[in-house]
Amino acid sequence: MTHHGPTIADILAGKTAKAMPSDRILPQTALRNYFQAIDNMMKVFAIRPDDKVLFLTDPLLDRRVVDAIAGIARGRGVQTREFMAPTTQLTDCPDEARALVEDATFVIGSWYASVNAPLFMKLRKEKGQRWVKITYFRNLDVLQTPQARFPVELVGEITRANAATYPRGTDFDMHFSDARGSDVTIHFTAEMTDNLLSGNRWRGKTMADEPGCYVHYLPSHGPNIYDRETFKRVPGAVAKMEGILYPQWAIGFPKPFEEKIGIEWKDTEVMKVHGKSREADILRDMIVGGKVTELGCGHNPKAPRYAIYPAGSNAAGALHWGINYATPSNYIRRVMPNWEEPPKHMDLVTMDSTVKVGNRTMIDNGFLMALRAPQVVEMASKYGDPVELLEAFVE
């Protein structure tokens, strides 16, 4: 019998073939998504009627972000104040801002110094000052994205499930590998693990409703699977660490590396950069002698995997290796003069690492195993299809 209908080639030539649903988002769906994101935002900015709210901002921050948060505060009977610095790249609190900071109970900061300036850390610890870092909320339009509407409670549950991966009460090795041949080991002691996991973020606290808290909005960045909190930020304390990493990309480079560039470590210090490309030369000049201060892991499966600026990728299971070095990088100053971080810091990125903690797998080829923890799947089921929520990644 002769078939007289169009062939597949005919259909494709006419470009009418379709095997997937339309990617058009209907207005009513967009509106529903937007208000889900706003609800998330209002939970994170848990401002109380008796709070004294302070913004620490910079000139490049979208003013709509400040107005939106100030509107939440105004709705709760709170007037806000603001101190604008010339840049986000501050590494400490300016003297002229100290009085405002010391008087505040709730701080929203865009500055790099937000996390570890001595005054800020002291006020969180001794005064219970609550902080929201807005590195990932610099433009109000981000509320239109899947990561903004991903439930903040679910980010917390994923984080707690990942924390449970760490062996407790024993020493162990955290080992990193990938298809390029990376082979890095960080030696953890039981005390290091206890120190690391004691923070509010590792307890899955994604809302600024707890005395002394420090949270990110959007809640995508970290918490770090290794950083200086493992030693309670004691000056000079570093982990036993060795091996070689072949990162896929780095902040400040327009595209992923074509050459297999190797970063050789010893006790968190970069000893050598292996490679012959221009990118390897830049990194060699920049980071040799620098030390890993944070190893960030994404916990939001809707954070875009291949969006690594300004400090990422923050997709669940992607890693960024934050290195601090002594001399400001002229390369960074040229290509990213307005980067949100100072030019003495570099984030290397891997999106396909396998990470073992002792005999447990934390990340398998870039997939965060906590996404399949029973309690995570159960909570995700309250918000929709858990497979779609947790495993349909945004590229």
pLDDT at 15: 62
Domain ranges of the chain: 45-144, 153-199+220-391
Query: How many CA atoms, within 13 angstroms, populate the side-chain half-sphere of residue 321?
Result: 26
Q: Which residues pair with 188 in a beta bridge?
A: 172
Distance separating alpha carbons of residues 293 and 314, to the nearest angstrom: 17
Where on the phi/psi map is residue 236: left (φ > 0), alpha (ψ -120 to 50), or beta? left
Answer whether CATH 3.40.50.2300 is correct for domain 45-144.
yes
Give all strands of the β-sheet with 214-216 in edge-to-edge order.
80-84, 53-57, 106-109, 130-133, 214-216
pTM: 0.92
- Profile the chain (395 residues) by mean pLDDT over runs of 10 residues: 63 67 84 96 98 98 98 98 97 97 98 95 97 96 96 96 97 98 98 94 94 92 90 91 97 96 97 98 97 93 92 91 94 95 94 97 98 98 97 90
Distance separating alpha carbons of residues 11 and 170, to the nearest angstrom: 62
pLDDT at 16: 60
pLDDT at 85: 98
